[in-house]
Structure 1
Amino acid sequence: MSWILFTLGAVILQTVRNALQSKLSGAVNTSGVTLSRFILAPPIALVYLLILYSGSASQVPEFSGSFIAVVLCASLLQIAATSLMVILFKQKNFAIGAGLAKSEALVAGVVGMLFFGSYLTPLGWAGIVIGAIAVFVLSSGNRLHGISVKTMVIGLACGTCFALTSLLVREASHMLNVQHTVAAAWVLLWVLCVQTISLSGYIALTKPFVFRQLTNAKKQVLAISTVSCLGSICWFTAMALQHVALVKTLGQLEVLLTLVLSHYWLKNAVTKREIAGLLLIGLAAIFVMWA
Structure 2
Amino acid sequence: MWIFITLFAAACQSARTAYQNTLAREAGFLHATMARSLYGLPLVTLYLLAVWWLFGGVSLNGTMTFWWAASACALAQIFATYFMLRAFQSGSYAMGTLLAKTEAVLAALIGLPLLHYTLTFASWVGIGLGVFGAVVMTVKWRNVRHAYRDASLLFGLASGLCFAMTSVMASMASHALSGSIITSAGITLWFVLIVQSVILCSLQMVKMRDIQAPFKHEFRLSCQVGVLSSLGSIGWFTGFALVNPALVKTLGQIEILGTLYYSKVRFSEKLSKQQWLGGTMILISVILVVASTVK
Q: TM-score, normalised by structure 2?
A: 0.85
Query: Structure 2 unaligned runs (5+)?
Result: none
Aligned match of 2:237: 236
Greater mean deviation of Cα atoms: 115-124 or 101-110: 115-124
Residue 59 of structure 1, aligned match among 57, 68, 85: 57
Inter-partner Cα distance in structure 1 for 2:116 and 2:51: 35
Comparing both structures, which one devotes a greater share of its residues to helix? 2
Question: CA, structure 1 residues 127+186, in 2 after alignment: closer, same or farther (shift >3 Å)?
Answer: closer
CA RMSD of aligned residues (A): 3.1
Residues 81 and 158, structure 1, Cα contact 8 Å, conserved in 2: yes
Count of aligned pairs between the two proteins: 289
Greater mean deviation of Cα atoms: 123-132 or 189-198: 123-132
Task: Letter of the 1:140 partner, please give it.
Answer: K
Aligned match of 1:165: 166
Residues 35 and 200, structure 1, Cα contact 8 Å, conserved in 2: yes
Task: Letter of the 1:231 partner, please give it.
Answer: G
Residues 174 and 180, structure 1, Cα contact 8 Å, conserved in 2: yes
Inter-partner Cα distance in structure 2 for 1:121 and 1:4: 17
Aligned match of 2:11: 12
Residues 22 and 89, structure 1, Cα contact 8 Å, conserved in 2: yes
Aligned match of 2:156: 155
Inter-partner Cα distance in structure 2 for 1:185 and 1:119: 25
Report the alpha carbon displacement of residue 13 of structure 1 after superposing the two structures with TM: 0.2
Task: Letter of the 2:251 partner, please give it.
Answer: L
Aligned match of 1:27: 26
Task: Letter of the 1:36 partner, please give it.
Answer: A
Equivalent residues in 2 for 1:76-225 (5 A)?
Answer: 76-113=75-112, 124=124, 128=128, 131=131, 134-135=134-135, 138-140=138-140, 146-147=146-147, 148-208=149-209, 212=213, 215-225=216-226
Report the alpha carbon displacement of residue 252 of structure 1 after superposing the two structures with TM: 1.5
Question: CA, structure 1 residues 65+134, in 2 after alignment: closer, same or farther (shift >3 Å)?
Answer: closer
Task: Letter of the 2:139 partner, please give it.
Answer: S
Inter-partner Cα distance in structure 2 for 1:140 and 1:162: 24
Residues 166 and 244, structure 1, Cα contact 8 Å, conserved in 2: yes
Residues 106 and 285, structure 1, Cα contact 8 Å, conserved in 2: no
Greater mean deviation of Cα atoms: 87-96 or 258-267: 258-267
Inter-partner Cα distance in structure 2 for 1:287 and 1:36: 35
Report the alpha carbon displacement of residue 276 of structure 1 after superposing the two structures with TM: 3.0
Residues 19 and 221, structure 2, Cα contact 8 Å, conserved in 1: yes
Task: Letter of the 2:185 partner, please give it.
Answer: A
Aligned match of 1:248: 249
Report the alpha carbon displacement of residue 25 of structure 1 after superposing the two structures with TM: 1.8
Percent of aligned pairs sharing the same letter:
30
Inter-partner Cα distance in structure 2 for 1:142 and 1:26: 30
Q: Deviations over 1:188-213 (max 9, x none)?
A: 11000000001111222235479658
Q: TM-score, normalised by structure 1?
A: 0.86
Residues 39 and 196, structure 1, Cα contact 8 Å, conserved in 2: yes
Residues 95 and 137, structure 2, Cα contact 8 Å, conserved in 1: no
Greater mean deviation of Cα atoms: 96-105 or 142-151: 142-151
Q: Deviations over 1:127-175 (max 9, x none)?
A: 6488458536613288687544432222111111101110110111111
